[in-house]
């Protein structure tokens, strides 16, 4: 509970408080769904109405709110530790679907020279990655979908043409569609359910179509952000897309080569989404994005009411983790983060293609019937696979470190045994849809594996350090030798001190090192009397663990060691930058591998859920001439796992045109 407690009050005198209140009151008006947070170096503060919002979200109480200033201009405020700040950000963006603004002091935090440094909204989290690091990455929504909608009405026919664009920046994916819709925007609701955006951009207007759009987004729990109409201008879009889109090897480097760019209204929405997401501000986005058309007809049409009535997903912010509350909770036996994301996507997008449905059913049936294969995949292989999609994105953005590279290396190293496991299934569908593509990617990633084995010090990894092999670089090798020599000098000092004090080196008197105290000796408290009055030794501290002390010679060794280690780390950083730069070339393969492994993870999860169901699940039979759908003894799977509830299964028959 300690991390949830508020910390001290603001350390500002009355003049500084008044100056801040004056600055705070001068800020432009904002909606209640935008929360302003002020970064005060070691902690954060939230003020006014936002303080009440933050207090309720983090502490479920407003008793921690304090006041600053003098009457009649007193201002409520709340102080947050870094941990509380992260809790607040996640709740606001991922649960409440609010927007966040973070202000940073230009000079001293005691002055009122603040500037808006970071902004975040449910569909655009990229700026906050810098503030939170991987704090948002653990969420299933670390690749939020941003939607933009532009509606054009034909004055003559009264028809409405909708241009919809979606951007999933984490997947480097753009998708667009254009269609005519009815008064209730039924088709738009279907697409919204399928794409599951966190935020929807619309032009500032108040006609009936946008009122209907507002209702659609409210039902789906999507935050609406109004932009000036000028943001939906396609001026310069062709040039922007040519920079952002990924082209095939011999394809002309021109955005017009993609048929999607001919959908004018959809392009106006895409232009707004690109600007809002600031995609052109990050050069690592160039040549990465794919563009496609949203194929709504490939999936069963669902609206928000159907999702809610069938309890497909838990409610936003439901942290009870009770599987029986939703279909997602019941089926989520996934071992990987990418698997969890794909499961959510499949539940929003039920297939209509009979061959694809039967392919999934065949693999699940195979896994249900082969308990050994199922358990090997679920309990051994998949649980050791990291979030490759997130790691590939870190590589692409040059934000990865050696630890990230090692985690990818471990996953690749596991692929041969995973393939051997899948080969035991001896099934053509498993081979063509899973084994073969994994095998091809394994071959492509072989050089990545070799590079990590060549450059990383695997002995250091066993100690929990992620270092480059000294032999990889001449300068690193020289610095490593110097560090070894200094270690030897420190050990010689240990032997001298042991002889001088009449103690066994390494047993009674020990040599230790840590970044704070450097090299030092340690003896137990009962040996401390041997040091009294001896001017050769300086005592650092005496604690329960013993007495720590040093000599002037050991101090000199520590100083030299610290400087050499700093030089080693600086030189290593150059090598790491080079390694990450090379590794980034494999990010495309890693994205593909992540997609296939997530597919395997979901199918294994289905088989585990089936095998552990209280009442057996059955495999449906689909035939090509499907004119009717006959369901016998149907029950909701969430109902049968609840204790003390009895129900009567139902038969349902659907016939075409009836």
Are 149 and 110 within one domain? no
pLDDT by residue (tens digit) across 262-284? 999 999 999 999 999 999 998 99
pLDDT by residue (tens digit) across 457-492? 888 787 677 888 888 788 888 988 998 899 999 999
Are 386 and 254 within one domain? no
Sign of CA dihedral 83, 86, 88, 94: negative
Are 474 and 594 within one domain? yes
In degrees, rounded to 5, the angle at the alpha carbon of residue 524 between the alpha carbons of residues 519 and 529 is 100
Q: What is the model's pLDDT at position 610?
A: 94
Please check whether residue 238 lies inside any domain of the structure.
yes
The domain that holds 230 is classified in CATH as: 3.30.420.110
Q: Provide the token pair at 191.
A: 């697409």
Are 253 and 325 within one domain? no
- CA distances 140 to 73, 341, 386, 471, 580, Å, are 43, 6, 14, 40, 25
Are 374 and 294 within one domain? no
Q: Share the mean pLDDT of the chain.
A: 89
Are 276 and 331 within one domain? no
| Cα separation, 99 vs 644, whole angstroms | 42
Residue 518: beta bridge partners? 514
Please check whether residue 649 lies inside any domain of the structure.
no
Closest CA to 184 of 215, 147, 220: 215
Would you mind telling me the total number of residues written for the chain in this entry?
658
Q: What is the mean pLDDT of residues 106-115?
A: 74
Are 258 and 112 within one domain? no
Please check whether residue 616 lies inside any domain of the structure.
no
User: Residue 27 belongs to what domain range?
Assistant: 2-120
CB 57 within 8 A of CB 49: no
Please check whether residue 305 lies inside any domain of the structure.
no
| Cα separation, 314 vs 336, whole angstroms | 19
pLDDT at position 7 over 80: no
How many independent structural domains does the chain possess?
A: 3
At which of 57, 87, 120 does a domain end? 120
CB 245 within 8 A of CB 291: yes
Please check whether residue 304 lies inside any domain of the structure.
no
| Cα separation, 192 vs 145, whole angstroms | 10
Q: What is the model's pLDDT at position 113?
A: 81
Are 325 and 293 within one domain? no
Q: What is the model's pLDDT at position 318?
A: 65
Are 450 and 324 within one domain? yes
CB 93 within 8 A of CB 246: no
Nearest 10 degrees: Cα torsion 176, 179, 181, 185 = 0
Are 293 and 319 within one domain? no
pLDDT by residue (tens digit) across 225-249? 999 999 999 999 999 999 999 998 8
pLDDT at position 164 over 50: yes
pLDDT at position 110 over 80: no
CB-neighbour burial class of residue 625 (10 A; exposed 0-12, middle 13-18, buried 19+): exposed
Q: What is the model's pLDDT at position 134?
A: 52
Closest CA to 486 of 570, 567, 558: 558
Q: Provide the token pair at 464.
A: 């929990």
Are 316 and 287 within one domain? no
Q: Provide the token pair at 638.
A: 């969430």
pLDDT at position 570 over 70: yes
pLDDT over 70 percentage in the chain? 94
Q: Provide the token pair at 557.
A: 């060794």
Are 356 and 494 within one domain? yes
Please check whether residue 236 lies inside any domain of the structure.
yes
Please check whether residue 126 lies inside any domain of the structure.
no
In degrees, rounded to 5, the angle at the alpha carbon of residue 195 between the alpha carbons of residues 191 and 196 is 110
Q: What's the pTM?
A: 0.82
């Amino acid at each position: 509970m300690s991390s949830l407690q508020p910390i001290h009050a603001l350390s500002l005198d009355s003049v500084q408080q008044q100056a801040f209140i004056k600055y705070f009151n001068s800020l432009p008006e904002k909606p209640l769904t935008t929360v302003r947070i002020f970064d005060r170096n070691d902690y954060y503060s939230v003020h006014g109405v936002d303080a009440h919002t933050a207090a309720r979200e983090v502490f479920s109480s407003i008793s921690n709110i304090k006041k600053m200033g003098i009457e009649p201009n007193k201002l409520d405020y709340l102080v947050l530790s870094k941990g509380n700040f992260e809790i607040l950000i996640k709740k606001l963006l991922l649960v409440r679907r609010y927007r966040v603004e973070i202000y940073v002091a230009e000079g001293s935090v005691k002055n009122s020279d603040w500037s808006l440094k970071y902004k975040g909204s449910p569909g655009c989290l990229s700026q906050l990655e810098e503030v939170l690091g991987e704090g948002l990455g653990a969420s299933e929504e670390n690749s939020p979908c941003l939607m933009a909608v532009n509606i054009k009405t034909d004055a003559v026919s009264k028809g409405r043409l909708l241009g919809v664009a979606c951007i999933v920046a984490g997947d480097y994916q753009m998708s667009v569609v254009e269609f005519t819709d009815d008064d209730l925007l039924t088709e738009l609701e279907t697409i919204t359910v399928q794409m599951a955006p966190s935020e929807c951009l619309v032009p500032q207007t108040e006609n009936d179509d946008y009122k209907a759009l507002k209702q659609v987004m409210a039902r789906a729990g999507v935050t609406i952000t109004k932009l000036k109409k000028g943001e939906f201008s396609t001026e310069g879009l062709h040039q922007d897309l040519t920079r952002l889109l990924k082209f095939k090897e011999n394809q002309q480097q021109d955005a017009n080569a993609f048929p999607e760019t001919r959908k004018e209204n959809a392009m106006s929405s895409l232009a707004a989404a690109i600007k809002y997401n600031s995609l052109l501000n990050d050069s690592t986005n160039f040549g990465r994005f794919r563009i496609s058309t949203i194929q709504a007809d490939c999936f069963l049409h669902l609206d928000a009411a159907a999702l809610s009535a069938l309890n497909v997903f838990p409610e936003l912010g439901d942290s009870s983790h009770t599987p029986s509350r939703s279909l997602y909770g019941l089926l989520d036996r996934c071992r990987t983060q990418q698997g969890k994301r794909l499961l959510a996507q499949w539940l929003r997008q039920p297939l209509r293609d009979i061959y694809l449905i039967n392919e999934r059913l065949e693999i699940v049936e195979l896994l249900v019937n082969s308990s050994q294969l199922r358990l090997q995949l679920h309990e051994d292989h998949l649980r050791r696979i990291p979030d490759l999609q997130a790691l590939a994105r870190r590589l692409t953005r040059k934000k990865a470190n050696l630890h990230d590279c090692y985690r990818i290396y471990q996953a690749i190293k596991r692929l041969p045994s995973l393939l051997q496991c899948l080969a035991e299934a001896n099934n053509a569908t498993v081979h063509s849809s899973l084994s073969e593509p994994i095998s091809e990617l394994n071959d492509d990633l072989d050089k990545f594996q070799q590079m990590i084995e060549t450059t990383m010090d695997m002995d250091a990894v066993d100690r929990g350090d992620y270092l480059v092999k000294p032999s990889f670089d001449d300068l690193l090798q020289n610095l490593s030798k110097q560090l070894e020599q200094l270690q030897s000098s420190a050990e010689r000092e240990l032997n001298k001190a042991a002889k001088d004090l009449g103690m066994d080196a390494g047993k009674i008197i020990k040599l230790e090192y840590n970044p704070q105290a450097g090299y030092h000796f340690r003896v137990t408290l009962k040996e401390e009397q041997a040091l009294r009055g001896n001017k050769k030794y300086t005592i650092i501290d005496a604690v329960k663990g013993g007495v720590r002390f040093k000599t002037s010679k050991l101090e000199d060794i520590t100083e030299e060691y610290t400087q050499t280690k700093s030089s080693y780390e600086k030189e290593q950083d150059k090598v790491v930058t080079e390694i990450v730069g090379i590794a980034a070339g494999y990010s495309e393969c890693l994205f593909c591998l992540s997609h296939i492994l997530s597919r395997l993870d979901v199918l294994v999860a289905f088989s585990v859920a089936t095998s552990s169901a209280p009442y057996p699940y059955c495999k449906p039979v689909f035939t090509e001439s499907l004119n009717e759908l006959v369901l016998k003894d149907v029950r909701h799977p969430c109902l049968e796992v609840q204790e003390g509830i009895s129900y009567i299964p139902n038969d349902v028959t659907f016939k075409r045109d009836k």
